[in-house]
Amino acid sequence: MSAQRGWLQVRNHLFWHILFTARNTYPCEQAKRDRIKWIYSP
């Protein structure tokens, strides 16, 4: 159960990392804040 949950967290992190990396017009600081918000939001 916890292994599956961990994989979902990793996949979600990679998804947002790729999304923000692809959108390189996105301001760096704003992307950083949004990424942190998405990673740590419930």
Which of 39, 42, 28, 40 has its CA nearest to residue 16? 39
Crossing angle (nearest 10°) for helices 2-22 and 28-40 = 160
Beta strands in the chain (DSSP E): none
- Which comes out higher in pLDDT, residue 40 or 27? 40
Counting the structural domains of the chain, the total is: 1
The maximal CA–CA distance of the chain, rounded, in angstroms, is 38
pTM for this model (two decimals): 0.37
Structural domain for 34, as ranges: 16-41
Query: Residue 36: inside a domain, yes or no?
Result: yes
* Any domain includes 5: no
Q: What tokens were used for 13?
A: 């992190």
Q: Residue 26: inside a domain, yes or no?
A: yes
Q: Is residue 34 part of a domain?
A: yes
pLDDT digits (tens, 9 = 90+) for 8-39: 888 888 888 887 776 665 566 777 777 777 77
